[in-house]
Structures are given as structure tokens and as C-alpha cells.
Amino acid sequence: MITMTLIRTTNPKIQNEFLGATIMTLDMPDLETLPNDELSVKWYGNEKSANFWEINNDSHKGSSGFYCRPVHIVKQKNRLTIYTEYNSYEFIVR
């Protein structure tokens, strides 16, 4: 299990809702299996949206999350930056 905390993003919607949120994932996603959208908000229980990260945020109580389609991923020590077509997302990895 990998734990990542979102510390910076160029996406204002995600910054407002998820900055500081902890994301838990088993591994990095396979680019071929991800949705084509650049970024989408996903509500759990909607089987039409397959996400690869779950966000645990006190204000959301685990009821929401997001997924994105990376085009480039950079890992440096305990930092991970995911670049999508329009935005970037920087995490601390534990």
C-alpha cells in the first residue's frame, strides 16, 4: 500500500477540494487502463467510473475521489509529480 498526500496542483478545483488529502493506492496505474478524460471527479458507488485512487479526507468522509490520466510521471525521493495534458499534481509519498 502506497500513501500519498497531495501538496500542490495547478488544477484549482482539485486544490480547493483535495489539497492535503491522503490518497492510498496499491501501485501506480497502468496508462492503458485509465479513462480518456484529463481529470474527473468520481462518486463512489457509480460503477461507470473506475478510479485508481481513493481519497480519505475528513471533510468528505471517504465519499468522493478523483482519477486522472497521466501523460508523464516524475518520481524524486519521496516526491511524486503527475503531469496530465492540462495540469500537474504533486504528492509526498510514504
Q: What is the tens place of the pLDDT at every residue in 33-80? A: 444 444 333 333 333 333 444 443 444 334 445 555 567 777 888 888
Where do the DSSP E strands lie in 1-94?
2-9, 22-25, 39-43, 54-56, 64-68, 72-76, 79-83, 88-93
- Please give the grid coordinates belonging to residue 13: 478545483
In the chain, where are the structural domains located? 2-93
Sorting pLDDT into bands at 50, 70 and 90, what band is 7? very high
Q: What is the model's pLDDT at position 1?
A: 63
Q: What is the model's pLDDT at position 86?
A: 81
- Please give the grid coordinates belonging to residue 85: 495534458
Q: What is the model's pLDDT at position 93?
A: 83
How many helices (H) and strands (E) are present in the chain, helices listed first? 1, 8
| Span 23-33, average pLDDT | 53
What's the pTM?
A: 0.60
